[in-house]
């Protein structure tokens, strides 16, 4: 049963959670983007035409039917607005009034589509997610809560030192054997594999973006061969379009050796357990992403 989430879910999401880990993996139904409030940035993924994983929203995300029909695909930029935040964003804002139902969502989608879809999403700077988190946390505050100059009152030296220290610490911890760093990425049909360092990304958005860039060359041929209508020439966005047509599904092999759908769990948990990545053809992805399959079928 696919239902739109009510705004009540939105309001619970905006509570500051103390029992975070449970919430993050809780199965819930909700609109895309409905759970981004109050959460860390970047635990969803909007790659490959699948639904975004906002925290707490596992797998079966809703896309209002009309959005599908109108051809507003769940493009990458749907989930990620220009600044790398997860979920919908109205132009320039971080809060979305989801209580108003479908039409707003369509507008949001379209505004996102019109928006910076090709924009670089996120950045490796750890400070950025924090800032976004700050915006997302406060659902009643004005859209972008700017940092106040000189507040909290900490000397610049300490601020700068801590920023570099923390990022360094993260790297060091990972090197000490916690989880995986470099993982192989394979793509079905590509002649060779690639390797990426998961630690250089801090969100699914960044990972998606990087993979798109890395593998775009491989899909050009396939793109042409599928002959999707309306596209005369190859462009650098072809992989994206192809992927957003959910031709491919991103999966990973975890510590137990199981192949999992990317995007279900919070980012940190993912990087801890991911051993390798595989960009699977949609037709192979049976059982992993039922709706993705449906979309595939409906479009081909």
Can you tell me which of 20, 68, 190, 293 binds other proteins, judged by CB under 8 A?
Answer: 20
Can you tell me which of 3, 147, 225, 298 binds other proteins, judged by CB under 8 A?
Answer: 147
Closest among 281, 270, 299, 279 to 53, alpha carbons compared: 270
Site string for other proteins, 153-172 (x = CB under 8 A): xxxxxxx-xx--xx-xx--x
Nearer to other proteins among residue 20 and residue 196 (C-beta): 20
16 binds other proteins (CB under 8 A): yes
Q: How far apart are CA 27 and CA 53, in angstroms?
A: 11
Nearer to other proteins among residue 18 and residue 298 (C-beta): 18
Binding residues for other proteins, how many (CB under 8 A)? 31
Nearer to other proteins among residue 164 and residue 300 (C-beta): 164
Q: How far apart are CA 260 and CA 115, in angstroms?
A: 31
Q: Which residue is associated with the tokens 């909007």? A: 46
For the beta carbon of residue 173, count every other beta carbon within 10 angstroms.
12
Can you tell me which of 6, 106, 137, 237 binds other proteins, judged by CB under 8 A?
Answer: 137
Closest among 138, 77, 69 to 102, alpha carbons compared: 69
12 binds other proteins (CB under 8 A): no
Closest among 180, 170, 161 to 255, alpha carbons compared: 180
Q: How far is the CB of 150 from other proteins (least distance, A)?
A: 3
125 binds other proteins (CB under 8 A): no
Q: 260: number of CA atoms within 13 Å, CB side? A: 19
Nearer to other proteins among residue 103 and residue 165 (C-beta): 165
Q: Which residue is associated with the tokens 């507003």? A: 72
Q: How far apart are CA 212 and CA 201, in angstroms?
A: 14
Q: How far is the CB of 163 from other proteins (least distance, A)?
A: 9
Q: Which residues contact 105 (CB under 8 A, 6 or more apart)?
A: 31, 32, 64, 67, 88, 98
Q: How far is the CB of 290 from other proteins (least distance, A)?
A: 34
Nearer to other proteins among residue 21 and residue 286 (C-beta): 21
Q: Residue 279 — φ and ψ, nearest 5°?
A: -90, 105
Closest among 84, 83, 109 to 96, alpha carbons compared: 109
127 binds other proteins (CB under 8 A): yes
Q: Which residue is associated with the tokens 């992927």? A: 243
Q: Which one of the spans 50-58, 129-137, 205-213, 290-298 is the region binding other proteins (CB under 8 A)? A: 129-137
Q: How far is the CB of 124 from other proteins (least distance, A)?
A: 17
Nearer to other proteins among residue 26 and residue 236 (C-beta): 26
Inter-residue contact 61 to 103 (CB < 8 Å): no
Structure tokens, 48: 């490959």
Q: Which one of the spans 27-35, 149-157, 225-233, 254-262 is the region binding other proteins (CB under 8 A)? A: 149-157
140 binds other proteins (CB under 8 A): no
199 binds other proteins (CB under 8 A): no
Supply the DSSP symbol for 150. T
Per CB under 8 A, residues contacting other proteins are 16, 18, 20, 40, 127, 130-131, 133-134, 137-138, 147-159, 161-162, 165-166, 168-169, 172
């Amino acid at each position: 049963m696919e239902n739109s989430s009510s705004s009540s879910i939105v309001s619970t999401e905006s509570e500051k959670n103390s029992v975070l880990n449970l919430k993050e993996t809780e199965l819930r139904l909700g609109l895309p983007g409905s759970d981004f409030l109050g959460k860390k940035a970047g635990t969803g993924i909007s790659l490959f035409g699948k639904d975004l994983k906002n925290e707490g929203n596992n797998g079966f995300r809703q896309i209002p039917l009309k959005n599908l029909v109108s051809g507003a695909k769940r493009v990458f930029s749907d989930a990620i607005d220009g600044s790398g935040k997860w979920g919908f964003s109205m132009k320039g804002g971080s809060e979305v009034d989801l209580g108003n139902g479908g039409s707003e969502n369509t507008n949001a989608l379209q505004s996102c589509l019109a928006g910076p879809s090709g924009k670089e999403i996120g950045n490796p700077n750890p400070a950025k997610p924090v800032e976004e988190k700050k915006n997302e946390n406060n659902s009643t505050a004005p859209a972008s809560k700017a940092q106040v100059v000189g507040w909290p009152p900490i000397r610049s030296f300490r601020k700068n030192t801590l920023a570099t220290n923390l990022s360094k610490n993260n790297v060091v911890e990972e090197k000490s054997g916690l989880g995986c760093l470099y993982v192989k990425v394979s793509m079905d049909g590509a002649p060779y594999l690639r390797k990426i360092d998961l630690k250089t990304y801090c969100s699914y958005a960044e990972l998606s973006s990087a993979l798109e860039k890395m593998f775009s060359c491989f899909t050009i041929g396939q793109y042409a061969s599928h002959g999707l209508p309306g596209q005369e020439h190859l462009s650098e966005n072809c992989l994206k379009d192809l992927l957003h047509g959910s031709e491919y599904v991103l999966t990973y092999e975890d510590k137990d050796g199981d192949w999992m759908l990317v995007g279900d769990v919070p980012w940190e948990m993912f990087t801890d357990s991911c051993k390798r990545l595989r960009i699977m053809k949609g037709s192979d992805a049976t059982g992993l992403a039922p709706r993705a399959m449906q979309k595939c079928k409906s479009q081909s």
